[in-house]
Amino acid sequence: MRKQGAIGKESRLRLLEAAAEEFALSGFYQTKISSIVARAGLTQPAFYLYFESKEAAFAELVADFRNGLSQAVRDSHIGPGKNREDLKEAVVASLEQIYRFLGRNPALTRIGLYLSPASVGIKAEIARLMEQNLIEEQQAGYYRQDLDAIFFAECLLAIIERLTLIKLLPGHETPSQLARQTQDLFFYGILDMQQRS
């Protein structure tokens, strides 16, 4: 690998973006380096200046996704001191931050959340981060004390994962819409308000 100047960094970024698109479209095994470089408008020798193999490019994309999503979940933590109305909006903003990260680069999300063999481990890490956030928010008095934070974190992740696939990535709903709907489901459930006892 060589040191990179501005042009080298741009070429490397173009290759990574092209690789993400190709992997998301064709899967890891069907993606060829020739298709990556063609999409990037570069040559195969250029690819090997920056990556040892397509495995190395794929691994870097997965790591980028893991790091980005982990940071988005950490940043979504709601600090203490919110009243009920502020909490509702803070939860929407928190969820929107996660959905926004997932929607920012659909190809990267498809790779990291669905296609990569590492996706199972990534989701387990994200569930643990969500659990930590929920426990701290529970201790701040925001949520019921009898709430099972592990169960809730797994449910929340499952909802986000599924809605990302069927609503966010195809462009049917925005991060803001999904965040508000997810918050509404968890705050108010599915029962008709007049039917609650």
| Residue 97: count of CB within 10 angstroms of its CB | 17
Give rounded-to-5 percent helix, strand, coil for the chain: 75, 0, 25
CA distance linking residue 19 with residue 51, whole number of Å? 11
**Domains of the chain by residue range:** 6-52, 58-188
For residue 192, the model assigns a pLDDT of: 77
Residue 141, Ramachandran bin (φ over 0: left; ψ between -120 and 50: alpha; else beta)? left
**pLDDT tens over the chain, length 197 residues:** 444 566 678 999 999 999 999 999 999 999 999 999 999 999 999 999 999 999 999 999 999 999 999 999 999 999 999 988 899 999 999 999 999 999 999 999 999 999 999 999 999 999 999 999 999 999 999 999 999 999 999 999 999 999 999 999 999 999 999 999 999 999 988 887 666 54
Question: Could you tell me which CATH number the domain at 58-188 has?
Answer: 1.10.357.10
Helix, strand, or coil (residue 146): coil
- Domain 6-52 fold: Arc Repressor Mutant, subunit A (1.10.10)
For residue 102, the model assigns a pLDDT of: 99
For residue 4, the model assigns a pLDDT of: 56
